[in-house]
Homo-oligomer: A and B are copies of this chain.
Amino acid sequence: MKYSKQREIILAIVKESDKHPTAEEVYMEARKRLPSISLGTVYRNLHILVELGMIKQIKGLDEKDRFDKTLKDHGHLLCTVCHKVYDADDVLIDTLKDNIEKESGFVTQSYNIVVTGICHTCMKERRYENEFTRN
């Protein structure tokens, strides 16, 4: 594999971000640092980095694939009020995994866990009213 400035930038952006960015978001940030970069290159390199195990890919958070600097498998909590994505406590997920293995003899390779709801902060500040009265 040959070095490329583009790949270095793309890796740096994901590693710097706390926001589980989409390919499009990585592309937008990358263009600030290297205006000539193309979206295709971003997609290609994100997948290479996933293959190399340097970043992780998250599916099912919303319609778009997202990319994550954290390598360990972990769940995500998506707040429907502030739209922030929180990382779920590893321990809880590990417990689930162990229980599934014990219960059904299913050997886990990976998991994709997205819990949608209202985060502690939004609950505390009562920002949720609209959510519950919407329908």
Q: Chain B's nearest CB lies how many Å from the CB of A40?
A: 19
Q: Does A50 contact B (CB under 8 A)?
A: no
Q: How far is the CA of A1 from the CA of B77 in the complex (A)?
A: 35
- A116 pairs with B111, CB closer than 8 A: yes
The complex is assembled from copies of this chain, and their number is 2
- Determine whether A59 belongs to the interface, using a CB cutoff of 8 Å to chain B: yes
Interface of A: prevailing SS: mixed
Docked-complex contact A112 and B116, CB < 8 angstroms: yes
Interface bin, chain A = 35 or more
Give CA–CA (A60, B116) in the complex, Å: 14
A104 to B97, CA, bound (A): 19
Nearest opposing residue in chain B for A112, CB measure: B114
Q: Shortest beta-carbon distance, A44 to chain B, in Å?
A: 18
Contacting residues of chain A (82-106) with chain B, CB-CB under 8 angstroms: 86, 88-89, 92-93, 95-97, 99-100, 103-106
Q: Are the CB atoms of B60 and A86 closer together than 8 Å?
A: no
